[in-house]
Structure 1
Amino acid sequence: MNQQQSNLYRFLVGLGDDAVVLSHRLSEWCSNGPYLEEDIALSNIALDYIGRARMFYQYAVEVEGKGRTEDDIAYLRTEREYTNLLIHELPINDFAFTMVRQFFVDVFYCEYLEKLSQSNDERIAAIAAKAVKESRYHLKRSEPWIRQLSEGTDESRRRIQAALVELENFVGELFIMSDWEKELVAEGVAVDREVLQSGWDKYVQAFLAQSEINFPDSQLQIRGGRDGIHTEHLGHMLSEMQYMQRAYPGLQW
Protein backbone atom coordinates (compact mmCIF):
# COMPACT_ATOMS: atom_id res chain seq x y z
CA MET A 1 0.00 0.00 0.00
CA ASN A 2 1.13 3.55 -0.63
CA GLN A 3 0.91 6.14 2.15
CA GLN A 4 -2.54 7.32 1.12
CA GLN A 5 -3.90 3.77 1.16
CA SER A 6 -2.20 3.06 4.48
CA ASN A 7 -3.83 6.12 6.05
CA LEU A 8 -7.22 5.12 4.69
CA TYR A 9 -6.80 1.56 5.97
CA ARG A 10 -5.90 2.79 9.47
CA PHE A 11 -8.87 5.13 9.43
CA LEU A 12 -11.34 2.42 8.43
CA VAL A 13 -10.00 -0.13 10.90
CA GLY A 14 -10.09 2.42 13.71
CA LEU A 15 -13.75 3.19 13.08
CA GLY A 16 -14.52 -0.50 12.77
CA ASP A 17 -12.73 -1.21 16.04
CA ASP A 18 -14.68 1.55 17.81
CA ALA A 19 -17.92 -0.04 16.65
CA VAL A 20 -17.14 -3.71 17.27
CA VAL A 21 -15.74 -3.08 20.77
CA LEU A 22 -18.70 -0.98 21.89
CA SER A 23 -21.02 -3.55 20.34
CA HIS A 24 -19.52 -6.29 22.47
CA ARG A 25 -19.77 -4.17 25.59
CA LEU A 26 -23.46 -3.47 24.95
CA SER A 27 -24.08 -7.15 24.20
CA GLU A 28 -22.99 -7.93 27.77
CA TRP A 29 -26.34 -6.52 28.90
CA CYS A 30 -28.16 -9.32 27.07
CA SER A 31 -30.19 -11.13 29.77
CA ASN A 32 -28.90 -8.59 32.33
CA GLY A 33 -30.94 -5.48 31.46
CA PRO A 34 -33.09 -3.77 34.09
CA TYR A 35 -36.21 -5.12 32.36
CA LEU A 36 -37.04 -7.11 29.24
CA GLU A 37 -37.68 -4.24 26.84
CA GLU A 38 -34.43 -2.51 27.77
CA ASP A 39 -32.58 -5.81 27.50
CA ILE A 40 -33.84 -6.19 23.93
CA ALA A 41 -33.18 -2.54 23.08
CA LEU A 42 -29.53 -2.67 24.18
CA SER A 43 -29.03 -5.89 22.23
CA ASN A 44 -30.45 -4.23 19.13
CA ILE A 45 -28.15 -1.25 19.52
CA ALA A 46 -25.25 -3.70 19.80
CA LEU A 47 -26.36 -5.19 16.48
CA ASP A 48 -26.37 -1.72 14.92
CA TYR A 49 -22.73 -1.33 15.90
CA ILE A 50 -21.87 -4.78 14.58
CA GLY A 51 -23.34 -3.80 11.22
CA ARG A 52 -21.33 -0.58 11.27
CA ALA A 53 -18.13 -2.46 12.09
CA ARG A 54 -18.71 -4.89 9.25
CA MET A 55 -19.06 -2.12 6.69
CA PHE A 56 -15.84 -0.44 7.78
CA TYR A 57 -13.93 -3.73 7.99
CA GLN A 58 -15.14 -4.89 4.58
CA TYR A 59 -13.88 -1.70 3.01
CA ALA A 60 -10.61 -1.92 4.96
CA VAL A 61 -9.72 -5.39 3.68
CA GLU A 62 -10.44 -4.27 0.11
CA VAL A 63 -8.07 -1.33 0.56
CA GLU A 64 -5.45 -3.62 2.12
CA GLY A 65 -5.68 -6.08 -0.77
CA LYS A 66 -4.12 -9.04 1.03
CA GLY A 67 -7.04 -11.40 0.79
CA ARG A 68 -7.99 -11.12 4.42
CA THR A 69 -11.62 -11.07 5.54
CA GLU A 70 -13.56 -8.99 8.02
CA ASP A 71 -13.38 -11.93 10.42
CA ASP A 72 -9.59 -11.85 10.27
CA ILE A 73 -9.63 -8.18 11.21
CA ALA A 74 -12.16 -8.61 14.01
CA TYR A 75 -11.03 -11.88 15.55
CA LEU A 76 -7.40 -12.56 14.75
CA ARG A 77 -5.63 -9.50 16.14
CA THR A 78 -4.25 -8.90 19.61
CA GLU A 79 -5.21 -5.98 21.84
CA ARG A 80 -2.13 -4.00 20.75
CA GLU A 81 -3.34 -4.28 17.16
CA TYR A 82 -6.75 -2.89 18.02
CA THR A 83 -7.03 0.87 17.54
CA ASN A 84 -10.39 1.77 19.11
CA LEU A 85 -10.70 4.87 21.23
CA LEU A 86 -10.55 3.94 24.90
CA ILE A 87 -14.02 5.10 25.93
CA HIS A 88 -15.53 2.24 23.92
CA GLU A 89 -13.68 -0.54 25.76
CA LEU A 90 -14.44 0.39 29.36
CA PRO A 91 -16.50 -2.29 31.17
CA ILE A 92 -20.26 -1.78 31.31
CA ASN A 93 -20.15 -1.20 35.08
CA ASP A 94 -23.68 -0.39 36.29
CA PHE A 95 -26.60 0.71 34.13
CA ALA A 96 -26.03 4.42 34.84
CA PHE A 97 -22.43 4.15 33.64
CA THR A 98 -23.51 2.41 30.42
CA MET A 99 -26.12 5.07 29.67
CA VAL A 100 -23.79 7.99 30.39
CA ARG A 101 -21.15 6.48 28.11
CA GLN A 102 -23.81 5.86 25.47
CA PHE A 103 -25.10 9.42 25.76
CA PHE A 104 -21.59 10.80 25.31
CA VAL A 105 -20.83 8.75 22.21
CA ASP A 106 -24.32 9.26 20.77
CA VAL A 107 -23.89 13.04 20.90
CA PHE A 108 -20.46 12.66 19.30
CA TYR A 109 -21.54 10.28 16.53
CA CYS A 110 -24.61 12.30 15.57
CA GLU A 111 -22.35 15.22 14.66
CA TYR A 112 -19.34 13.25 13.46
CA LEU A 113 -21.21 10.89 11.15
CA GLU A 114 -23.28 13.74 9.74
CA LYS A 115 -20.08 15.44 8.63
CA LEU A 116 -18.48 12.15 7.54
CA SER A 117 -21.46 11.55 5.24
CA GLN A 118 -20.08 14.47 3.19
CA SER A 119 -16.74 12.70 2.63
CA ASN A 120 -15.47 12.73 -0.93
CA ASP A 121 -14.95 8.98 -0.55
CA GLU A 122 -18.35 7.74 -1.70
CA ARG A 123 -18.07 4.43 0.17
CA ILE A 124 -17.32 6.14 3.47
CA ALA A 125 -20.02 8.72 2.88
CA ALA A 126 -22.60 5.97 2.30
CA ILE A 127 -21.61 4.09 5.47
CA ALA A 128 -21.81 7.30 7.51
CA ALA A 129 -25.17 8.27 6.03
CA LYS A 130 -26.63 4.94 7.15
CA ALA A 131 -24.94 4.94 10.55
CA VAL A 132 -25.96 8.49 11.50
CA LYS A 133 -29.63 7.52 11.29
CA GLU A 134 -28.96 4.81 13.86
CA SER A 135 -27.05 7.19 16.12
CA ARG A 136 -29.91 9.69 16.09
CA TYR A 137 -32.20 6.92 17.31
CA HIS A 138 -29.64 5.87 19.92
CA LEU A 139 -29.52 9.45 21.24
CA LYS A 140 -33.30 9.57 21.51
CA ARG A 141 -33.00 6.56 23.83
CA SER A 142 -30.02 7.62 25.93
CA GLU A 143 -31.19 11.16 26.70
CA PRO A 144 -34.41 10.15 28.51
CA TRP A 145 -32.44 7.64 30.58
CA ILE A 146 -29.95 10.30 31.68
CA ARG A 147 -32.81 12.60 32.66
CA GLN A 148 -34.74 9.83 34.42
CA LEU A 149 -31.74 8.65 36.43
CA SER A 150 -30.60 12.18 37.23
CA GLU A 151 -34.03 13.22 38.50
CA GLY A 152 -35.00 9.90 40.09
CA THR A 153 -33.84 8.67 43.46
CA ASP A 154 -30.83 9.87 45.43
CA GLU A 155 -29.15 6.58 44.54
CA SER A 156 -29.74 6.87 40.79
CA ARG A 157 -28.47 10.46 40.82
CA ARG A 158 -25.38 9.41 42.77
CA ARG A 159 -24.66 6.76 40.18
CA ILE A 160 -24.99 9.26 37.33
CA GLN A 161 -22.55 11.57 39.09
CA ALA A 162 -20.13 8.70 39.67
CA ALA A 163 -20.30 7.72 35.99
CA LEU A 164 -19.54 11.29 34.93
CA VAL A 165 -16.46 11.32 37.16
CA GLU A 166 -15.25 7.99 35.75
CA LEU A 167 -15.77 9.00 32.12
CA GLU A 168 -14.70 12.63 32.06
CA ASN A 169 -11.03 11.89 31.42
CA PHE A 170 -11.79 9.51 28.52
CA VAL A 171 -13.94 11.94 26.55
CA GLY A 172 -11.07 14.09 25.28
CA GLU A 173 -9.67 11.30 23.11
CA LEU A 174 -12.77 11.53 20.90
CA PHE A 175 -11.38 14.83 19.63
CA ILE A 176 -7.64 14.14 19.36
CA MET A 177 -6.31 13.99 15.81
CA SER A 178 -3.14 12.22 14.68
CA ASP A 179 -1.02 13.51 11.79
CA TRP A 180 -2.13 10.75 9.41
CA GLU A 181 -5.79 11.49 10.11
CA LYS A 182 -5.17 15.19 9.46
CA GLU A 183 -3.82 14.21 6.04
CA LEU A 184 -7.11 12.45 5.31
CA VAL A 185 -8.97 15.58 6.40
CA ALA A 186 -6.91 17.64 3.96
CA GLU A 187 -7.87 15.17 1.22
CA GLY A 188 -11.56 15.54 2.06
CA VAL A 189 -11.89 11.94 3.25
CA ALA A 190 -12.08 12.30 7.03
CA VAL A 191 -13.53 14.78 9.52
CA ASP A 192 -11.56 17.14 11.74
CA ARG A 193 -12.68 15.86 15.13
CA GLU A 194 -10.95 18.69 16.98
CA VAL A 195 -13.48 21.24 15.73
CA LEU A 196 -16.35 19.15 17.07
CA GLN A 197 -15.32 19.40 20.71
CA SER A 198 -16.77 22.82 21.52
CA GLY A 199 -20.16 21.86 20.10
CA TRP A 200 -20.10 18.56 21.98
CA ASP A 201 -19.25 20.31 25.26
CA LYS A 202 -21.99 22.89 24.76
CA TYR A 203 -24.64 20.28 23.96
CA VAL A 204 -23.73 17.91 26.80
CA GLN A 205 -23.43 20.59 29.46
CA ALA A 206 -26.70 22.25 28.42
CA PHE A 207 -28.54 18.93 28.53
CA LEU A 208 -27.13 17.92 31.92
CA ALA A 209 -27.85 21.39 33.33
CA GLN A 210 -31.57 20.74 32.76
CA SER A 211 -31.32 18.16 35.55
CA GLU A 212 -28.98 20.37 37.60
CA ILE A 213 -26.02 18.14 36.85
CA ASN A 214 -22.63 19.77 36.42
CA PHE A 215 -20.06 18.26 34.05
CA PRO A 216 -16.83 20.29 34.23
CA ASP A 217 -14.28 20.30 31.44
CA SER A 218 -11.59 17.76 32.20
CA GLN A 219 -7.97 18.88 32.11
CA LEU A 220 -6.71 15.32 31.69
CA GLN A 221 -7.08 13.39 28.46
CA ILE A 222 -6.34 9.71 28.70
CA ARG A 223 -5.27 8.63 25.24
CA GLY A 224 -3.52 5.91 23.28
CA GLY A 225 -6.29 3.86 21.68
CA ARG A 226 -5.54 4.79 18.07
CA ASP A 227 -1.91 3.79 18.70
CA GLY A 228 -2.83 0.41 20.19
CA ILE A 229 -2.24 1.42 23.80
CA HIS A 230 -5.23 0.29 25.82
CA THR A 231 -6.60 -0.13 29.30
CA GLU A 232 -6.26 -3.46 31.05
CA HIS A 233 -9.87 -4.22 30.14
CA LEU A 234 -9.55 -4.75 26.39
CA GLY A 235 -7.43 -7.91 26.48
CA HIS A 236 -9.90 -9.63 28.79
CA MET A 237 -12.79 -8.56 26.57
CA LEU A 238 -11.11 -9.85 23.41
CA SER A 239 -10.38 -13.21 25.02
CA GLU A 240 -14.15 -13.68 25.27
CA MET A 241 -15.09 -12.07 21.97
CA GLN A 242 -12.52 -13.98 19.93
CA TYR A 243 -12.80 -17.36 21.62
CA MET A 244 -15.09 -19.08 19.10
CA GLN A 245 -13.16 -17.92 16.05
CA ARG A 246 -9.85 -19.00 17.52
CA ALA A 247 -11.23 -22.31 18.78
CA TYR A 248 -13.02 -23.03 15.47
CA PRO A 249 -11.09 -21.26 12.72
CA GLY A 250 -13.08 -20.22 9.68
CA LEU A 251 -16.38 -19.40 11.36
CA GLN A 252 -18.26 -16.67 9.53
CA TRP A 253 -20.54 -13.83 10.66
Structure 2
Amino acid sequence: MTEDDDTSPDNIRWAFGTGFADPLHGVDTAVPDGVDAGELAARCVALADDALISAQRLAEWCTRAPELEEELALANIGLDLLGQARLLYSRAGQADGTGFGEDAYAYFRDAASFRNVRLTELPDGDFAFTIVRLLVTSIWRLAVFEELTGTADPVLAAVAAKGVKELAYHCRYAAEWTVRLGDGTAESRRRMCRALERIVPWLDELLTDRLAPGGVAERIRQALLQVLDRAGLTLPDAAPEPGSGRDGQHTEHLAPLLAELQSVARAHPEAAW
Protein backbone atom coordinates (compact mmCIF):
# COMPACT_ATOMS: atom_id res chain seq x y z
CA MET A 1 0.00 0.00 0.00
CA THR A 2 1.44 3.38 -1.00
CA GLU A 3 0.69 6.90 0.16
CA ASP A 4 -1.01 7.58 -3.16
CA ASP A 5 -3.22 4.51 -2.90
CA ASP A 6 -6.88 5.36 -2.29
CA THR A 7 -6.88 2.81 0.52
CA SER A 8 -3.80 4.09 2.34
CA PRO A 9 -4.31 5.09 6.00
CA ASP A 10 -4.20 8.78 5.12
CA ASN A 11 -7.11 8.38 2.72
CA ILE A 12 -9.44 6.25 4.82
CA ARG A 13 -12.63 8.24 5.28
CA TRP A 14 -16.19 7.62 6.41
CA ALA A 15 -17.82 5.86 3.48
CA PHE A 16 -19.07 2.52 4.78
CA GLY A 17 -16.48 2.44 7.53
CA THR A 18 -13.31 1.64 5.60
CA GLY A 19 -11.03 3.11 2.97
CA PHE A 20 -12.45 1.55 -0.15
CA ALA A 21 -10.92 2.43 -3.49
CA ASP A 22 -13.01 4.26 -6.06
CA PRO A 23 -15.81 1.78 -6.89
CA LEU A 24 -15.51 2.70 -10.55
CA HIS A 25 -11.72 2.37 -10.61
CA GLY A 26 -10.54 1.11 -14.00
CA VAL A 27 -13.85 1.87 -15.71
CA ASP A 28 -14.02 4.37 -18.55
CA THR A 29 -16.11 7.06 -16.91
CA ALA A 30 -16.13 9.58 -19.78
CA VAL A 31 -19.67 10.74 -20.46
CA PRO A 32 -20.60 9.50 -23.95
CA ASP A 33 -21.38 11.94 -26.73
CA GLY A 34 -25.05 12.82 -26.80
CA VAL A 35 -25.56 12.24 -23.07
CA ASP A 36 -26.35 15.32 -21.00
CA ALA A 37 -23.90 15.17 -18.09
CA GLY A 38 -26.08 17.30 -15.83
CA GLU A 39 -29.15 15.14 -16.37
CA LEU A 40 -27.10 11.98 -15.86
CA ALA A 41 -25.69 13.27 -12.57
CA ALA A 42 -29.12 14.38 -11.35
CA ARG A 43 -30.62 10.97 -12.08
CA CYS A 44 -27.75 9.18 -10.32
CA VAL A 45 -27.99 11.39 -7.23
CA ALA A 46 -31.75 10.95 -6.96
CA LEU A 47 -31.61 7.17 -7.29
CA ALA A 48 -28.71 7.04 -4.83
CA ASP A 49 -30.61 9.18 -2.34
CA ASP A 50 -33.58 6.80 -2.61
CA ALA A 51 -31.29 3.88 -1.84
CA LEU A 52 -29.41 5.55 1.02
CA ILE A 53 -32.53 6.69 2.86
CA SER A 54 -34.24 3.34 2.33
CA ALA A 55 -31.18 1.55 3.70
CA GLN A 56 -31.14 3.78 6.78
CA ARG A 57 -34.77 2.96 7.51
CA LEU A 58 -34.12 -0.76 7.08
CA ALA A 59 -31.15 -0.54 9.44
CA GLU A 60 -33.53 0.61 12.15
CA TRP A 61 -34.96 -2.91 12.24
CA CYS A 62 -31.71 -4.34 13.59
CA THR A 63 -32.58 -5.97 16.95
CA ARG A 64 -36.27 -5.14 16.36
CA ALA A 65 -37.43 -7.51 13.60
CA PRO A 66 -39.93 -10.27 14.49
CA GLU A 67 -37.33 -13.01 14.00
CA LEU A 68 -33.56 -13.17 13.62
CA GLU A 69 -33.92 -14.47 10.07
CA GLU A 70 -35.95 -11.41 9.07
CA GLU A 71 -33.52 -9.10 10.82
CA LEU A 72 -30.71 -10.54 8.69
CA ALA A 73 -32.80 -10.37 5.51
CA LEU A 74 -33.69 -6.72 6.02
CA ALA A 75 -30.09 -5.87 6.87
CA ASN A 76 -28.85 -7.58 3.71
CA ILE A 77 -31.41 -5.75 1.58
CA GLY A 78 -30.19 -2.52 3.16
CA LEU A 79 -26.60 -3.42 2.31
CA ASP A 80 -27.59 -4.06 -1.30
CA LEU A 81 -29.10 -0.58 -1.45
CA LEU A 82 -26.02 0.97 0.14
CA GLY A 83 -23.89 -0.63 -2.55
CA GLN A 84 -26.14 0.81 -5.25
CA ALA A 85 -25.97 4.23 -3.62
CA ARG A 86 -22.19 4.15 -3.55
CA LEU A 87 -21.87 3.38 -7.25
CA LEU A 88 -24.47 5.96 -8.22
CA TYR A 89 -22.92 8.72 -6.10
CA SER A 90 -19.53 7.98 -7.63
CA ARG A 91 -20.96 8.17 -11.12
CA ALA A 92 -22.70 11.46 -10.31
CA GLY A 93 -19.48 13.06 -9.08
CA GLN A 94 -17.69 12.05 -12.26
CA ALA A 95 -20.48 13.06 -14.60
CA ASP A 96 -21.05 16.55 -13.21
CA GLY A 97 -17.33 17.35 -12.97
CA THR A 98 -17.35 18.04 -9.24
CA GLY A 99 -15.34 14.93 -8.41
CA PHE A 100 -17.46 14.45 -5.28
CA GLY A 101 -17.33 11.01 -3.72
CA GLU A 102 -19.97 9.16 -1.76
CA ASP A 103 -18.99 10.80 1.52
CA ALA A 104 -19.74 14.28 0.19
CA TYR A 105 -23.16 13.25 -1.06
CA ALA A 106 -24.17 11.08 1.89
CA TYR A 107 -22.82 12.99 4.87
CA PHE A 108 -22.38 16.64 3.98
CA ARG A 109 -25.68 17.73 2.42
CA ASP A 110 -28.70 18.95 4.36
CA ALA A 111 -32.26 17.71 3.88
CA ALA A 112 -33.19 20.33 1.28
CA SER A 113 -30.36 19.09 -0.96
CA PHE A 114 -31.59 15.50 -0.99
CA ARG A 115 -33.67 14.32 -3.94
CA ASN A 116 -35.15 11.05 -2.67
CA VAL A 117 -38.84 10.27 -3.05
CA ARG A 118 -40.63 10.99 0.19
CA LEU A 119 -41.99 7.48 0.74
CA THR A 120 -38.47 6.33 1.62
CA GLU A 121 -38.14 8.77 4.52
CA LEU A 122 -41.37 8.02 6.40
CA PRO A 123 -40.85 6.39 9.83
CA ASP A 124 -40.95 2.60 9.88
CA GLY A 125 -44.15 2.08 11.84
CA ASP A 126 -44.84 -1.63 12.28
CA PHE A 127 -43.49 -4.60 10.31
CA ALA A 128 -46.51 -4.52 7.97
CA PHE A 129 -45.74 -0.94 6.96
CA THR A 130 -42.10 -1.80 6.28
CA ILE A 131 -43.11 -4.76 4.12
CA VAL A 132 -45.63 -2.78 2.06
CA ARG A 133 -43.17 0.06 1.57
CA LEU A 134 -40.44 -2.40 0.58
CA LEU A 135 -42.82 -4.03 -1.89
CA VAL A 136 -43.79 -0.73 -3.51
CA THR A 137 -40.29 0.74 -3.67
CA SER A 138 -38.70 -2.52 -4.85
CA ILE A 139 -41.21 -3.05 -7.66
CA TRP A 140 -40.75 0.56 -8.72
CA ARG A 141 -36.96 0.50 -8.51
CA LEU A 142 -36.71 -2.83 -10.34
CA ALA A 143 -38.78 -1.49 -13.24
CA VAL A 144 -36.63 1.65 -13.41
CA PHE A 145 -33.36 -0.29 -13.30
CA GLU A 146 -34.55 -2.74 -15.96
CA GLU A 147 -35.11 0.21 -18.29
CA LEU A 148 -31.77 1.79 -17.36
CA THR A 149 -29.84 -1.32 -18.42
CA GLY A 150 -30.34 0.03 -21.94
CA THR A 151 -29.42 3.64 -21.19
CA ALA A 152 -26.82 5.40 -23.33
CA ASP A 153 -24.37 5.81 -20.44
CA PRO A 154 -22.51 2.48 -20.10
CA VAL A 155 -21.60 3.06 -16.46
CA LEU A 156 -25.18 3.68 -15.36
CA ALA A 157 -26.29 0.75 -17.52
CA ALA A 158 -23.80 -1.53 -15.74
CA VAL A 159 -24.87 -0.30 -12.30
CA ALA A 160 -28.49 -0.94 -13.25
CA ALA A 161 -27.75 -4.43 -14.55
CA LYS A 162 -26.08 -5.36 -11.28
CA GLY A 163 -28.93 -3.83 -9.30
CA VAL A 164 -31.62 -5.72 -11.20
CA LYS A 165 -30.45 -9.03 -9.70
CA GLU A 166 -30.55 -7.61 -6.19
CA LEU A 167 -33.89 -5.89 -6.65
CA ALA A 168 -35.52 -9.05 -8.00
CA TYR A 169 -34.77 -10.67 -4.64
CA HIS A 170 -36.06 -7.61 -2.74
CA CYS A 171 -39.34 -7.86 -4.67
CA ARG A 172 -39.65 -11.58 -4.03
CA TYR A 173 -38.97 -11.21 -0.32
CA ALA A 174 -41.51 -8.39 0.08
CA ALA A 175 -44.11 -10.18 -2.05
CA GLU A 176 -43.86 -13.38 -0.02
CA TRP A 177 -44.39 -11.47 3.22
CA THR A 178 -47.23 -9.45 1.70
CA VAL A 179 -49.09 -12.66 0.82
CA ARG A 180 -48.31 -14.23 4.18
CA LEU A 181 -49.59 -11.25 6.16
CA GLY A 182 -52.47 -10.31 3.88
CA ASP A 183 -53.79 -13.86 3.82
CA GLY A 184 -52.87 -14.57 7.44
CA THR A 185 -54.69 -13.71 10.64
CA ALA A 186 -57.33 -11.04 11.04
CA GLU A 187 -54.78 -8.89 12.86
CA SER A 188 -52.07 -9.24 10.19
CA ARG A 189 -54.60 -8.41 7.48
CA ARG A 190 -55.81 -5.36 9.39
CA ARG A 191 -52.26 -4.09 9.71
CA MET A 192 -51.56 -4.61 6.01
CA CYS A 193 -54.70 -2.69 5.08
CA ARG A 194 -53.65 0.13 7.39
CA ALA A 195 -50.17 0.15 5.87
CA LEU A 196 -51.60 0.40 2.36
CA GLU A 197 -53.77 3.33 3.42
CA ARG A 198 -50.68 5.14 4.73
CA ILE A 199 -48.55 4.42 1.68
CA VAL A 200 -50.92 4.94 -1.25
CA PRO A 201 -50.92 8.79 -0.99
CA TRP A 202 -47.16 8.68 -1.71
CA LEU A 203 -47.41 6.24 -4.61
CA ASP A 204 -48.15 8.87 -7.24
CA GLU A 205 -44.74 10.46 -6.69
CA LEU A 206 -43.12 7.23 -7.87
CA LEU A 207 -45.46 6.66 -10.80
CA THR A 208 -44.94 10.20 -12.13
CA ASP A 209 -41.20 10.44 -11.41
CA ARG A 210 -39.72 12.60 -14.14
CA LEU A 211 -36.28 11.02 -13.67
CA ALA A 212 -37.57 7.50 -14.33
CA PRO A 213 -37.55 6.19 -17.92
CA GLY A 214 -40.87 6.63 -19.69
CA GLY A 215 -43.40 3.83 -19.84
CA VAL A 216 -42.72 2.16 -16.49
CA ALA A 217 -45.69 3.50 -14.51
CA GLU A 218 -48.29 1.04 -15.80
CA ARG A 219 -45.90 -1.89 -15.45
CA ILE A 220 -45.29 -0.91 -11.82
CA ARG A 221 -48.99 -0.62 -11.09
CA GLN A 222 -49.80 -3.99 -12.65
CA ALA A 223 -46.99 -5.75 -10.77
CA LEU A 224 -48.19 -4.27 -7.49
CA LEU A 225 -51.82 -5.21 -8.15
CA GLN A 226 -50.80 -8.77 -8.98
CA VAL A 227 -49.11 -9.24 -5.60
CA LEU A 228 -51.96 -7.60 -3.72
CA ASP A 229 -54.48 -9.82 -5.48
CA ARG A 230 -52.58 -12.93 -4.36
CA ALA A 231 -52.65 -11.55 -0.82
CA GLY A 232 -56.38 -10.82 -0.94
CA LEU A 233 -55.70 -7.11 -0.61
CA THR A 234 -56.82 -4.14 -2.69
CA LEU A 235 -55.21 -0.81 -3.47
CA PRO A 236 -57.25 1.85 -1.67
CA ASP A 237 -58.16 5.17 -3.24
CA ALA A 238 -56.44 8.21 -1.81
CA ALA A 239 -55.58 11.71 -2.91
CA PRO A 240 -51.85 12.01 -3.71
CA GLU A 241 -49.64 14.03 -1.41
CA PRO A 242 -48.66 17.28 -3.17
CA GLY A 243 -45.04 18.14 -3.84
CA SER A 244 -42.03 16.05 -4.73
CA GLY A 245 -38.84 15.00 -3.01
CA ARG A 246 -37.15 15.35 -6.39
CA ASP A 247 -37.57 19.11 -5.93
CA GLY A 248 -36.18 19.08 -2.40
CA GLN A 249 -39.63 19.12 -0.80
CA HIS A 250 -39.52 16.65 2.09
CA THR A 251 -41.46 15.60 5.14
CA GLU A 252 -40.43 16.59 8.64
CA HIS A 253 -38.98 13.10 9.07
CA LEU A 254 -35.96 13.45 6.77
CA ALA A 255 -33.94 15.96 8.79
CA PRO A 256 -33.88 13.85 12.01
CA LEU A 257 -32.98 10.75 9.99
CA LEU A 258 -30.05 12.59 8.39
CA ALA A 259 -28.96 14.03 11.73
CA GLU A 260 -28.47 10.49 13.02
CA LEU A 261 -26.95 9.19 9.79
CA GLN A 262 -24.47 12.05 9.47
CA SER A 263 -23.66 12.76 13.12
CA VAL A 264 -20.27 11.05 13.41
CA ALA A 265 -18.95 12.23 10.04
CA ARG A 266 -19.97 15.81 10.77
CA ALA A 267 -18.51 15.70 14.26
CA HIS A 268 -15.16 14.58 12.86
CA PRO A 269 -14.92 15.96 9.31
CA GLU A 270 -11.93 14.75 7.31
CA ALA A 271 -11.09 12.26 10.05
CA ALA A 272 -9.00 9.25 9.07
CA TRP A 273 -9.16 5.89 10.81
TM-score (norm 1): 0.89
Identical columns (%): 38
Q: Which amino acid aligns with 2:269?
A: P
Counting only pairs closer than 5 Å after superposition, residues 83-232 of structure 1 correspond to structure 2 as 83-178=115-210, 181=211, 191-192=213-214, 195-232=215-252
Post-superposition offset of 1:139: 1.2
Quick one: distance in 2 between partners of 1:113 and 1:67?
24
Structure 1: segments with no counterpart, 5+ residues? 182-189
Instruction: Give the corresponding residue for 1:238.
Output: 258
**Greater CA radius of gyration, 1 or 2?**
2
Instruction: Give the corresponding residue for 2:50.
Output: 18
Quick one: distance in 2 between partners of 1:248 and 1:160?
42
CA contact (8 A) 2:178 2:227 kept: no
Post-superposition offset of 1:221: 4.3
Q: Could you tell which deviates more after superposition, 239-248 or 148-157?
A: 148-157
The CA RMSD over aligned residues, in Å, is 1.8
252 and 102 in structure 1: CA distance in 2 versus 1, 3 angstrom threshold: farther
116 and 151 in structure 1: CA distance in 2 versus 1, 3 angstrom threshold: same
Runs of 4 or more, structure 1, over 3 Å off, are: 216-219
Quick one: distance in 2 between partners of 1:50 and 1:119?
22
CA contact (8 A) 1:169 1:222 kept: no
Instruction: Give the corresponding residue for 2:70.
Output: 38
Post-superposition offset of 1:251: 4.9
Post-superposition offset of 1:217: 4.8
Post-superposition offset of 1:107: 1.4
Q: Secondary structure at the match of 2:251?
A: coil
Post-superposition offset of 1:222: 3.7
Q: Which amino acid aligns with 1:4?
A: D
- Number of positions where the alignment pairs a residue of Structure 1 with one of Structure 2: 239
Quick one: distance in 1 between partners of 2:118 and 2:234?
23
Q: Which has the higher helix share?
A: 1
Post-superposition offset of 1:84: 0.3
Quick one: distance in 2 between partners of 1:44 and 1:252?
27
Q: Deviations over 1:13-42 (max 9, x none)?
A: 111101101010101111111111111111
Q: Which amino acid aligns with 1:15?
A: L
Q: Which amino acid aligns with 2:213?
A: V
Quick one: distance in 2 between partners of 1:173 and 1:138?
20
Quick one: distance in 2 between partners of 1:100 and 1:251?
39
TM-score (norm 2): 0.83
Q: Secondary structure at the match of 1:242?
A: helix
Q: Secondary structure at the match of 1:44?
A: helix
